[in-house]
Structure 1
Amino acid sequence: MSFKVNPAKPFVEELKKVGVALIDEAVAALSQQPDGPHAAVHEARKKFKRLRALYRFTHNKAPDFRAAENTRFRDIARSLSAARDAAALVENISYLETFSRTDTERHALASVHETLAKRRDAMTSDDGDLPARIRSAIAECENGKQALQHLSLPHSDKTALSLITHTWRKQRQKALDALSACHTDAHDENFHDLRKSGQVYWIHLALLRRLWPSAMRAKKVDAKRLVDLLGHEHDLSVLAAFADREPDVFTGGDTLALLLDAILHRQQALRQECLELADHVFAESAKTESKIIGLLWKDAAG
């Protein structure tokens, strides 16, 4: 199903329709597993991210529902993450290898790649309880689907406008706060917060793109590029944290030191690029942009 709402139809019903479709798509991925269980888990977790971003629009009128369902789908994703996280480390080192600066660094990163790939394969083969966790996740998805179907919200145009503008302003302000924190203090958590805000912004642009297709498409392209860059930045933080936590995994001379130096060098370049792009993506104030979204919604819904 296309991830977008039709402003000519009741927003609450559109929200529920999109949410049910996302849950069904996640269940289908986990049940059918056309490319194997780990690819299915990755696909389902992407659906959960969209679903959690969608549910932000319910917070103003149904905070208990939003809190409970956000926790539900966050926990489902975490329950499936162990082997996926091991695979992600291999993807992270593959990305870092493309920016090798010397032969010595290139050989060190190749060694790390081999080590992490063996670790991933071992975890995958030993992940014997994954089928049980997938079955549990599917059952919990069905519970979440029932909760969504029973969600009761006012159907008035006024409620729809309030849900949309309030959520948009709140999320954009979160993004601006995270961006300001990144400019002030280049800490991993600040960039992680900016990444999460960027993801929500990109998902919300996709959801409401019918309001102004050409403008929303352009904004969505920039937001997606920002999210991708911040994703690489976060992945490098995860890789560095793993290396610090389990240094004995890396053997052979200066391998660990070369790995951490390569991470730091690439991360610094990424952060500068991310900040410049984020300044552009979030140039509009939260108040101004939420007002524009409200006016566009009223016009499209009318």
Structure 2
Amino acid sequence: MSYRLSLADAPAASIRACAREQLNGAVRELESPGDDPAKAIHQARKHLKKTRALLRLVRPALGERAYRAENDALRDAAAKLSATRDADVLVATVDALAAAAVGRLPASDLDALRAALVAEAAAARAHAPVDGAAPTDAPAGDGATAVAAAVAQELRDIHARVDSWPLDDSDWETVVAGISRAYARGRDARALAEADPTVEHLHDWRKRVKDLWYHHRLLKPVWPAVFDACAEEAHVLSEQLGDDHDLAVLRARLEQGIDGLAVDLDPLLAVVEERRGALQAQARQLAARLYAEKPKAFERRVTTCVEAAVAETGAAAGA
């Protein structure tokens, strides 16, 4: 099944099915990365983010103890994959900036910077720590492989617990409350980020936008044309904020200094700031439409749509 809830099934059953699907997908990526381990790790992390968004959708039904236990397990698993992923993102971010840097930074300087970041990414993959241990001196690639295997086993353990998640009392009201809560939290995070656009505030806002994106995807069967469009707009917004965050991380890395890199990076840092400004302006414009409704109005609309869709599905099944 795809990443969406079934209107024909009880919410608890559908939620469990979605969770299993995402966990299985992450394990497949980690155990069979093919010839692009970086892409496989990226895909595995996406599966974990979807699973965590699913948990947040039904957090009250799960209860704080179960929610925190499973959310923490998923967060910790994703964190073990982040070191190698973050290093690869820096390389991709430099590549994305290359066109904007033409004429403002010598091509040889940009090439030298890229080569230095590629070397750092390779070292991160080769010597990735396992379960918090010190970096390994294993041959290139062995560290990342060991991390992937360890995380895959952790995800199997979570998968085995899905059936015991306390979801029996969840219903469609639970689901509506979950997406409404994500919308309200995103609206608050947006206000804070626009008033004080620090890297932390913008990143926190992006997390809430991604919840809204994933929750609209889960509820797509309610009204496919509308919920799919809202999901896509939230996706675009999350990408804008994500690109901004990647640029902020790149700036921080450059300001730390890179051993052996004798390059004047001031022109590139200027390009970074210009691009961040443009991305934040685009995000504000899109957010003005995506968060136009007040939270109570949003909740009433979604409630009406869900009730109508569930009733129609039940009538069709009865016929």
What is the TM-score with the length of structure 2 in the denominator? Answer: 0.87
Q: CA RMSD in A?
A: 1.8
Structure 2 unmatched ranges of 5 or more: 127-139, 312-319
Aligned-partner Cα distance in 2 for 1:299–1:223: 24
Deviation string, structure 1 residues 63-122 (Cα, Å, up to 9, x no partner): 222111111111111112222211111001111112225243655433322221232234
* 1:238 maps to which of 236, 249, 267: 249
Deviation string, structure 1 residues 213-268 (Cα, Å, up to 9, x no partner): 111122122111111111110100111121223x13372242x2223222111111
Q: What residue is the counterpart of 1:169 in the other structure?
A: 180
Asked whether the equivalents of residues 164 and 294 of structure 1 are also in contact (C-alpha less than 8 Å), the reply is: no
Q: Give matches, 1:44-55, under 5 Å.
A: 44-55=44-55
2:198 counterpart of 1:192: no
Aligned-partner Cα distance in 1 for 2:123–2:56: 38
Deviates more, 1:42-51 or 1:62-71: 62-71
Q: What residue is the counterpart of 2:134 in the other structure?
A: none
Aligned-partner Cα distance in 2 for 1:146–1:202: 27
DSSP 3-state at the match of 2:7: coil
Aligned-partner Cα distance in 1 for 2:164–2:261: 55
Asked whether the equivalents of residues 16 and 149 of structure 1 are also in contact (C-alpha less than 8 Å), the reply is: yes
Amino acid in the other structure paired with 1:46: K
Q: What residue is the counterpart of 1:92 in the other structure?
A: 93
Aligned-partner Cα distance in 1 for 2:69–2:160: 13
Q: What residue is the counterpart of 1:183 in the other structure?
A: 194
DSSP 3-state at the match of 2:113: helix
Distance 1:123 1:115, change over 3 A: same
Aligned-partner Cα distance in 2 for 1:92–1:252: 20
* 2:282 maps to which of 273, 283, 288: 273
Asked whether the equivalents of residues 104 and 267 of structure 2 are also in contact (C-alpha less than 8 Å), the reply is: no
Amino acid in the other structure paired with 2:149: R
Structure 1 unmatched ranges of 5 or more: none
Aligned-partner Cα distance in 2 for 1:230–1:168: 20
Q: What residue is the counterpart of 1:251 in the other structure?
A: 261
2:205 counterpart of 1:202: no
Q: What residue is the counterpart of 1:294 in the other structure?
A: 303
Aligned-partner Cα distance in 1 for 2:91–2:45: 18
Aligned-partner Cα distance in 1 for 2:89–2:156: 28
Aligned-partner Cα distance in 1 for 2:54–2:106: 43
Distance 1:187 1:209, change over 3 A: same
2:72 counterpart of 1:71: yes
Runs of 4+ in 1 over 4 A off after TM superposition: none
2:144 counterpart of 1:130: yes
Q: What residue is the counterpart of 2:33 in the other structure?
A: 33
Aligned-partner Cα distance in 2 for 1:286–1:278: 14
Aligned-partner Cα distance in 2 for 1:266–1:108: 19
Aligned-partner Cα distance in 1 for 2:162–2:33: 25
Deviation string, structure 1 residues 126-167 (Cα, Å, up to 9, x no partner): 453222222211111111112211113235xxx413311221
Asked whether the equivalents of residues 173 and 286 of structure 1 are also in contact (C-alpha less than 8 Å), the reply is: yes
Asked whether the equivalents of residues 41 and 80 of structure 1 are also in contact (C-alpha less than 8 Å), the reply is: yes
Aligned-partner Cα distance in 2 for 1:275–1:250: 39
Q: What residue is the counterpart of 2:163 in the other structure?
A: 149
Structure 1 vs Structure 2: percent identity of aligned residues?
Answer: 26
Asked whether the equivalents of residues 97 and 110 of structure 1 are also in contact (C-alpha less than 8 Å), the reply is: no
Distance 1:30 1:252, change over 3 A: same
Deviation string, structure 1 residues 175-206 (Cα, Å, up to 9, x no partner): 11111112211211111112111111111111
Q: What residue is the counterpart of 1:80 in the other structure?
A: 81
Q: What residue is the counterpart of 1:22 in the other structure?
A: 22
Aligned length: 297
Considering Cα pairs closer than 8 Å and 6+ residues apart, tell me whether 1 or 2 has the greater RCO.
1
Deviates more, 1:273-282 or 1:97-106: 97-106
Aligned-partner Cα distance in 1 for 2:183–2:268: 36
Aligned-partner Cα distance in 2 for 1:226–1:105: 32
Asked whether the equivalents of residues 105 and 262 of structure 1 are also in contact (C-alpha less than 8 Å), the reply is: no
Asked whether the equivalents of residues 125 and 144 of structure 2 are also in contact (C-alpha less than 8 Å), the reply is: no
Amino acid in the other structure paired with 1:145: H
Aligned-partner Cα distance in 1 for 2:260–2:185: 38
Asked whether the equivalents of residues 212 and 234 of structure 2 are also in contact (C-alpha less than 8 Å), the reply is: yes
Asked whether the equivalents of residues 101 and 271 of structure 2 are also in contact (C-alpha less than 8 Å), the reply is: yes
